[in-house]
Structure 1
Amino acid sequence: MKKTFLSLALLATVMAAAAKEHKYVTVPGDPMQTRLYTMPNGLKVYLSINKEKPRVTAHIAVNTGHRNDPADCTGLAHYLEHLMFKGSKKFGTTDYNAEKPYIDKITSLYEEYRKLTDPAERKAKYHEIDSVSQIAAQYNIPNEYDKLMAAIGGDGSNAYTSFDVTCYTEDIPANEIQRWAEVQSDRFRNLVMRGFHTELEAVYEEKNMSLTNDDSKLFDAVFAQLFPSHSYGTQTTIGTQDHLKNPSLVEIQKYYDRYYKPNNIAICMAGDFDCDKVMDILEEQFGSWKPGKDTTPRQFAKQPLFTQPKDTTVVGQEKEQIMMAWRFDGAASHQCDTLEIISDILMNGRCGLVDLNINQKMLMQSAEAGSFSLKDYSILIMGGTPKEGQSLDEIRNILLGEVKKLKAGDFDEDLIISIINNRKRQYLQKMENNSSRVRTMVDAFIDEQPWEDQVRQIERMSKITKADIIAFANKHLTDGYVCGYKLKGEDKNIKKIEKPAITPIPANRDKASKFLTEITARTTEPIHPQFVDFNTDLTKVTTKTKLPMLYVQNKENGLFQLVFRYEFGDRADVRYSVINDYIPLLGTSKMSNEQIKKQFYKLACDYNISVGNTNVTVRLAGLDENMEEALALLESIINDSKADKKVYDLYVENTLKERAESKKNQRTCFGFLWEYAMHGAKNDYTNMLSESELKATAPEVFTDLLKGLSQMKHTVLYYGPRSVKDITKSVEKNHKVAKRLADIPVNKEWAWTTTETPQVIIAPYKANNIHLRMLSNEKKPLDVTAIPTTRLFNEYFGGGMNAIVFQELRETRGLAYNAAAFYSTPSRKEDPQYWVQHIISQNDKMMDCVNTFKDITDNMPQTEANFNIAKQSILKNIASERTTKMNIIYKYLNAQRMGIDYDINKDIYNAVPDMTLQTLVDFEQNNIKGKPLHYVILGDEKELDIKAIEQVAPVKRVTLEEIFGY
């Protein structure tokens, strides 16, 4: 039996006074002041007001995920998530009644197709599906949902499917709740599964990407052992390759009809709104939706206990590693309170057992520990990566050694108090963000956790004693765990994928449904933009120690951020890059590294020294009441860190192993290849100390570099509750600097590659997909006056799901899971503007991708309706955007880097209304069309059509050693 949604005896019931009375419940003392409603049809609504900016984060959570997929039709929940963006009977089509017979035919053809085994018969049947799909596509209007959301100023249209949940996400202007609700109500109640065969290929591309991800393979293998008769372990979110290639629209429809019902759904919203008015809208739009008769999820027998470790192994070309997992009760169980504390005792990023005893001492390459909760079970995970010459069994024993210490109580009792204080800090941080609030609501709904339990969790955790933790660990952290080994090798289970014969469907950009026309024609009460005024929205002062300070006051809570910013980076001196990771391993003359980390954690504060390409920042953040003590601790690190040769040698050993392992990671390899294509062999990625330089440099060099920061010119940034006067005095007193500050070193500037003639640059990586990016760079300097046009062009052509690129590469041709294009606006006035087209696709689709990109840039599709939606999207987003908190300071600094002294959004907002589609046509012809391109490819030549790509441009082959520089 399901748990009661809310314990009404423990909650305060409140009646809302509005045009219509809406009953809701709240939990006394809830910092989010969340109201919980239940409509007569069972639909749950969570509302939390946050007036920081006139926007609303709105998630619609369906209480089902891949755990409910039929065993013979896996990946179904995820399919459905994709299809939910295809429209309804009202939108996404020009004539649903005319379209329906063909959709029905496609549905029946897929049922025939999935039963065939003969390759020739399957090919013929798929050709028939493709042919009928072409007829149906005459009525289809791809991406009309995305047009609707863009038109109302929506941002972040997306969705995700996991074990227990499918959730649909939007972030909208506060004045657009009515139109948002109308669209959501229609698509959730009247879904039509159209455009299926091209979307199927996009899903398959997503599967391809997961097959080359060794982390995903290891995770799946461990869960298969942990949950041998539960869909958590027997199935994956995307599904099997066989099921993906043999889909059933009939089964998807059954799934939708069963689980997509109001009594199985929650609408979770946080932002600037009137709760009563929101409920009026939601009841109007969703109130007549009929509840489902059976939304009960799949039931599974309790997973068997095991008293001995269960081992499993996967292989792949990325780094070796190990993953261990223990199983616990589900997310709604109070057992999770203790489990989360145990997780933080093991690893909290600073002074957990794994942090101090393994990572600090560098006993292995890296180690981690953490917990996460699902509806039926929760899991504690530990993992590690070996050093050179270290076996996976060795790191397994090291990790188990920390579990043994936990069970023996070999940790400070004060650590529990520190964990609770840091949890309180994290909760305050979560309160600042609409998305974090909403995610908490979604989790509570899906996990069937009473809201009071969520609100009171830290209070409950604070009562857990060391004795409780020891007893819990000894009872549950037994030898009944799963251990997964990830070995290096060739994964022969990855199947080569045959590209299906898909005829591109028409984009039908000039068509619009009546629903779209009506929705977009309606006006709403406007939100007026507020641009940052750098003269009034932040305070600029100079301390008596001659440091400029940028200040914004925090009037919401007791959190602070204090930053010392230096306008140079590792481009000026590559040695600074080492202090990122080496300094946090050291102690001072008065405190060990372990004592430092424990003290910072006790203060609920943390520090970070970050060396970027063009700036260095030393950041301190946490509870403002502890700022002076934390700052004194930070100052001791800056000025009194003690170099340690043994620690340094271990650091170098780990660094060199990480460098070697990075050549096995597909995304990392492509990152290095792209930088090589942009700048040549000398670039930000290859700007590092060589192996010989690392080994020859004395560790005192790096502590001296850190000490030297106090002698250089820098700027102080502060966001917190203190007054300007108070923070200025505190910095003058506690931040020790030289009486006469030295000039900072000068950053080097890398050469930029010009694309004067076409060229293909290819580096090897064995996988079933390629990373492909096309570059055009004429070294045009930043033109601030062109930024509004660039912003609108990117929105129209290459930005989101309503853009030309997404429509052509994914919607009409099914060439990729994701694709994008953009004309860059550099963040510094020293850098040029350039044009990029990007896609990840199957090896045998390479030339399709190249040719499609060429087609849409040589003959850019021009659609007035799409253009107007792009304009509306930009204007509504800017009007409802508010730059607040520390972001005011960073926006000011970014403007300075671009050579301006005002909020650039003001230019964009004022210029966009007067632009025409011809403005974008002219921009494209002047900056993109016909320009020579460099085609940058990471892939396996044996699987690529090299002869075809050689017809495009001369091929330059580079090795991984060339692009990595080692």
Structure 2
Amino acid sequence: MNLLKKLTIATSIAAASSISHAHGQDFQWKEATSNGYKYRYVTNDPASARYYILKNGLTVILSPTDKNPRIQTYITTKAGSKNDPADHTGLAHYLEHMLFKGTNQFGTKDWVKEKPLLDQIDVLYENYNQTKDKAKRKEIYKKIDRISGEASKYAIANEYDKMMAEMGAEDTNAFTSYEQTVYTEDIPANVIDKFLAVQAERFREPILRLFHTELETVYEEKNRVIDNDGDKVFNTMFASLFPNNNYGKQTVIGTIEHLKNPSLNAIREYYNNYYVPNNMAVVMSGDFNPDEVIAKIDKAFSYMKPKAIPEYKVGQERPITIPIVKEVIGPDMENVMLGFRFPGASTKDARLMFLIGKILANGQAGLIDLNLTNKQKLLEASVTPFLLKDYSALLLQGTPTEDQSLEDVKSLLLQEIDKLKKGEFSEDLLQAIINNEKKAIIEQYEEYSSRGAILNQEFIMGVDHKANLEYIDEYSKLTKKDIMDFAAKYLQNNNYVLVYKKLGKDRRTMKISKPTITPISINKEDQSPFIEKIEQIPENPISPVWLNYDKDIAKNKLGNVDILSVKNKDNALFKMYYYFDTEKWNSKILPLAAEYLEYLGTQNKSSESISKEFYQLASSFEMNVGSDETYILLEGLNENFDKTIALFEDLIKNCQTDPTAFDAYKARMKKARANVKQDKDHIAAGLRNYARYGPQNPFNNVLSDAELDALKAEDLIHLLHDLFNFKHKILYYGPKSGNEIAASLIPIHTLPPILKDIPNIKTFVQIPTDKNKVLFAHYDMVQAEVFWVRNGEQYNATITPTISLFNNYFGEGLGSIVSQTIRESKALAYETGSSFQQPDNKEDKDMIMAYVGTQADKFNESTAAMNELLMTLPKSEQLFEATKSGLKKSIASERISQDGIIFSYLKAQRLGNNFDIRKNVYEQAPKLSFADINAFHDKEMKNKNYTYCIVAAQDKVNEADMQKLGEVKKLNLTEIFGY
């Protein structure tokens, strides 16, 4: 339910889908009838989507594909935060939360007794909403808390999540954005009857039970936004771009004032107005027969009655005639965001916005890529198109490098926009963009989950699917002048919003004060009769498919290098990896060399020309350096395989030092190192590494400032030139056979007679968690983030089935014991969880991890709640049996494919296994009893020592409270980061 992240993902999917799957194909809307149902479809549609409108107005979009026996589902309402009443902002979002609480049929063990108490709570909230006197409000809230406690005795918390878990569903979630509220599930294909029965009941008449604890969870989510500088920049941008439209007048989560004054009547009114069939859609993509499924959906949702939807008045924006400049203050790194307003999603101009965004920045050969990031004039820069229904926006963001002002960043970004308007880009860039988008669309449509996301987003934005498939032809007809004129129209010198993100303490930051909440009953052992009905619905079992590493992977040789390959039988794309086992290497300069490579050229080619050439081939490379493995990934079109590999090999073998580029790179690196010290997630990662390995650990195994100053370009160049002289493997997924790959690589990937061993530079060993300790790092924020870390025993494959079952039951997912207790019952956190993690290498140790992100004034309650769970494992037979069933179904319907087969094999090798470990889990986990996982919990968690890693503001968490947990060590940033 990360709102801005979900919005970004959805917008990115829509952006990608705005390009045709295949150039020159004829896309036409057609009508057909099958199994008594009329539907529309588009010829040559890569999604094979059918569009139905049922008698009650419900839209159903079905996209069948049998590659995996699973189905991605979306149940979507065309109503989001822009439809919130002005005096109840955030309402759509917390209604989304309440759709997980059940109806009068499930989520309750005695509706007759529960209902009168919920009615009283309704009245109390209305009084609370209207009352201004603080003392009276406090008394009303005490009554709400007391009666909510009584009502909770009849509620069954998380019964929805338990039902979905039993089905083997994954990614049970929902999200709200400006235009939409979407409920998502990824289910095994054989439980579709159960799924539809649950969803039909879920949306029939939701009951707003357990409201005050869930509202507290929303408070915590609001606090996370308050702590996130990126969210604050984004909200400031939209408030300035859209001062008259609800995109800018209202935020998705709502104002603090409105969250503190909820109205259950207003929530119900919103539901009754917008959750109607003519305003909703069911979208499914996956393994099913559409003729059968449409009849089932019709039967399940036929009870819904259409009604008129409240008129939404689009707030009309006036043209921006002078730059609007805003400022955001916070502890995270400085940056600049520029925003330009565009028309809404269904317009041609909104689609062309994506094109000029790609010309500006596409990650390889855009104007900003080549002129700013490649030449290291900025630390980072990006362009993000946001497709929305009323208006859209093009956002440019830049991060300064060393000794660079935010004003300089703004000027550099505007200069590239001027170049766009003047046509200072190569003629072949447009065709290169089209080629790369063709490849991107092939990738999008081969996955059932991303298919569904595209179709769902089109429905919300009112975008015609046929139009979305035709625009590659439209783009191919554009001239440079067309693009220049379009850019000049929308990207003027004075019609933008500029937000400066500056370092400092935000004096305006507020938090939502903690109300007094008595923990509620969650009735783990109870079960409604509705669940019994669902369990009786038949399902055909899915047979699991295990990997056979001897048969599923072709094994060939290129000299003394192993080639592991899996054939791509679906399309003409390839992925190839140069793979190094770097567990013992831990080189401080290898990550720097990998990044430096992006800015290098050869004697014959500049870095800029190499970037352009990769992009024109619709290919790319990425070098990923990890503590366990390092790989270089090349991917692209199979027809350009030889050219792509040759281009990269020439670069890495013949790259040359560039003194100017190296000086800029070191300055850039210093700025980047300073920036990560201002990021709370990096700080938390550093604490966890310190807890696992001690003061010297993989996280801070980096060059000191003095070592960085002394670093020479030749050191990095030598390592790059020498890289293929070390032992490595070649991994391939694509249309070629293993023999064909070897033959293609013989003239390109030349090798020495003997490859060198990876040097054993540094080995890190997990330290014993021999006593309770606290590692604390200060960060100026509202919340406190607490991680429990404990090193366990050596890897043991025989306990993997127990671990899988235990994690699903105890701490992973919304229906787990940890989430039920800390989030549902005690309302202490928005995010919480726990897991027992096995290592990636058999020589390493297991790790126990737990997490609570909570408001700082709930620190004591939150840590006590988690410690109680680590001490005693609560028992719920219903949840345990549902967990066992769901785990088995999830594994049975899982299909590891493509390059995932090879990486599964490599992981098995590192762990000393020669088979697919999932088979053991599938066969053994269902035989385990609660006593087995309770014994596991007692052995691994109960009465054990933990290192508490805490990131919080030092004035908000009392040191005496931390000392109760263990010996406190306050770490400074140099100790955490190593520089």
* TM-score in terms of structure 2 length: 0.96
Identify the residue that residue 3 of structure 1 maps to in structure 2.
none
Task: Indicate the residue corresponding to 2:922 in structure 1.
Answer: 909
SS in 2 for 1:752: coil
Deviation, structure 1 residue 947: 2.4
Question: Quick one: which amino acid aligns to residue 898 of structure 1?
Answer: L
Deviates more, 1:33-42 or 1:108-117: 108-117
Displacement of 1:644: 1.0
Per the alignment, residue 813 of structure 2 pairs with 800
C-alpha displacement of 1:681 = 1.8
| CA displacement 1:673-701 (0-9 Å, x = unmatched) | 11112211211211112222222122022
Residue of structure 1 equivalent to 2:970:
957
Q: Among residues 826, 840, 844, which one is paired with 2:853 in the alignment? A: 840
> Counterpart of 1:493 in 2: which secondary structure?
coil
Q: Is this contact kept in 2: 1:337–1:460, CA < 8 A?
A: no
Residue 247 (structure 2) pairs with residue 232 (structure 1): yes
What are the Cα deviations for residues 583-614 of structure 1, in whole angstroms up to 9, with x where unaligned?
11011111111110111100101111221112
CA contact (8 A) 2:279 2:309 kept: no
**Which residue does the alignment assign to 1:11?**
29
Verify the 8 A CA contact 1:228 1:303 in the aligned structure 2.
Answer: yes
Q: Counterparts of 1:487-886 in structure 2 under 5 Å?
A: 487-543=502-558, 545-568=559-582, 571-746=585-760, 748-777=762-791, 779-886=792-899
* Contact 1:222–1:484 under 8 Å retained in 2: yes
Aligned partner (choices 193, 202, 206) of residue 217 of structure 2: 202
Matched, 1:396 2:414: no
What is the alpha-carbon distance in structure 2 between the residues aligned to residue 804 and residue 176 of structure 1?
24
CA contact (8 A) 2:505 2:780 kept: no
Amino acid at match of 1:825: Q
Amino acid at match of 2:823: R
Instruction: Identify if the C-alpha distance between structure 1 residues 442 and 491 changes in structure 2 by more than 3 Å, giving closer, same or farther.
Output: same
Residue of structure 2 equivalent to 1:5: none
Q: Deviations over 1:178-207 (max 9, x none)?
A: 110111111112211111111111111111
1:888 Cα deviation after fit: 0.5
Partner of 1:4: none
Note if 1:252 corresponds to 2:255: no
Partner of 2:5: none
Match of 1:890 among 903, 913, 920: 903
What's the RMSD between the two structures over aligned residues? 1.5
Q: Distance in 2 between matches of 1:697 and 1:267?
A: 58
What is the deviation of 1:174? 0.4
2:956 to 943, 956, 965: 943
Bigger mean CA offset, 310-319 vs 790-799: 310-319
Match of 2:496 among 481, 488, 497: 481
- The SS at the match of 1:878 is helix
Q: Which moves more between the two structures, 517-526 or 706-715?
A: 517-526
Query: Partner residue of 1:455?
Result: 469
- Per the TM alignment, residue 295 of structure 1 is displaced from its structure 2 partner at its CA by 4.8
Structure-2 separation of matches of 1:351 and 1:818: 39
CA–CA distance in structure 1, aligned partners of residues 195 and 763 of structure 2 = 47
**Is contact 2:93–2:176 with CA below 8 Å preserved after alignment?**
yes
8 Å contact kept, 2:220–2:854 = yes
For residue 221 of structure 1, what is the aligned residue in structure 2?
Answer: 236
AA in 2 matched with 1:519 = I
Do the aligned residues in 2 keep the contact of 1:264 with 1:295 (CA within 8 Å)? no
Distance 2:611 2:310 in 1: 49
Q: Which consecutive segments of 4 or more residues in structure 1 shift more than 6 A? A: none
Per-residue displacement from partner, 1:853-907 (whole Å, max 9, x unpaired)? 1222322111111110110111000010111111110100111111101100000
Q: Relative to structure 2, which stretch is displaced further, 157-166 or 671-680? A: 671-680
Give the partner amino acid of 1:853. M
Q: Does 2:337 align with 1:323?
A: yes
Amino acid at match of 1:282: I
Moved more, 214-223 or 874-883: 214-223
Alignment partner of 1:284 out of 293, 299, 310: 299
Provide the C-alpha distance between the structure 1 equivalents of 2:584 and 2:385, rounded to a whole number of angstroms. Answer: 36
Equivalent residues of 1:764, 1:960 under 8 A apart: no
Structure 1 partner of 2:912: 899
The CA distance in 1 between the partners of 2:511 and 2:560, in whole Å, is 64
Shift of 1:301: 3.5
For 2:304 and 2:668, how far apart are their aligned partners in 1? 58
Matched, 1:92 2:110: no
Matched letter for residue 70 of structure 2: R
Deviation of 1:570 after TM superposition, in Å, equals 8.2
Q: Number of matched residues? A: 953
1:202-247 Cα shifts (integer Å, max 9, x gaps): 1111111111111111111111111011110011111111111111
Counterparts of 2:309 and 2:355, CA distance in 1: 37
- Matched residues in 1 for 2:432 and 2:598: separation? 20
Amino acid at match of 1:892: Y
What is the aligned partner in structure 2 of residue 156 from structure 1? 171
Aligned pairs (5 A) from 1:466-477: 466-477=480-491
- What letter matches 1:615 in structure 2? E
Residue-by-residue CA offset, 1:723-759 (whole Å, 9 max, x unaligned) = 2222220022221221322222236321313221212
The answer as to whether partners of 2:246 and 2:315 remain within 8 angstroms in 1 is no
Residues 1:185 and 2:200 are matched in the alignment: yes
The answer (yes or no) to whether the contact 1:418–1:603 under 8 Å persists in 2 is yes
Deviations 1:276-297 (A, max 9, x none): 111111011012311122254x
Letter in 2 for 1:345: I
Deviation of residue 364 (structure 1)?
A: 2.3
- The offset of 1:124, in angstroms, is 1.1
Q: Secondary structure at the match of 1:401?
A: helix
- Pick from 123, 131, 139: which aligns with 1:124? 139
Whether the 8 Å contact between 1:614 and 1:747 is mirrored in structure 2 is no
Contact 1:205 1:817 survives alignment (8 Å): yes
Find the partner of 1:294 among 304, 309, 313.
Answer: 309
CA contact (8 A) 2:90 2:259 kept: yes
5+ residue gaps, structure 2: 1-25
Deviates more, 1:570-579 or 1:922-931: 570-579
Tell me the equivalent position of 1:268: 283
Q: Partners of 1:9 and 1:754 in 2: how far apart?
A: 63
Q: 1:318 deviation in Å?
A: 1.4
Distance 2:854 2:869 in 1: 18
Structure 1 contact 843–944 (Cα < 8 Å) conserved: yes
Cα distance in 1 for partners of 2:287, 2:964 equals 56
Unaligned runs of 5+ in 1: 1-7
**Deviation of the 1:950 alpha carbon:** 2.1
Task: Measure the CA separation in 2 of the matches of 1:593 and 1:388.
Answer: 22
Q: Which amino acid aligns with 2:117?
A: Y
Q: Which of residues 931, 936, 947 is equivalent to 1:923?
A: 936
Would you say the 8 A contact 1:571–1:687 is kept in 2?
A: no
Contact 2:585 2:758 in 1 (8 A): no
Counterpart code for 2:150? I
Q: 1:516 and 1:194, CA in 2 relative to 1: closer, same or farther beyond 3 A?
A: same
Looking at structure 1, the residues matched to 27 and 864 of structure 2 have their Cα atoms a distance apart, in angstroms, of: 65
Closer, same or farther: CA 490–140 of 1 in aligned 2, 3 Å: same
Which TM-score applies when normalising by structure 1? 0.97
Rounded to whole Å, the distance in 2 between the matches of 1:936 and 1:906 is 36
How far apart in 2 are the matches of 1:827 and 1:613? 10
Please state if 1:425 is matched with 2:439.
Answer: yes
Take 2:75 and 2:255, find their aligned partners in 1: how far apart are those partners? 27
The answer as to whether partners of 2:236 and 2:326 remain within 8 angstroms in 1 is yes
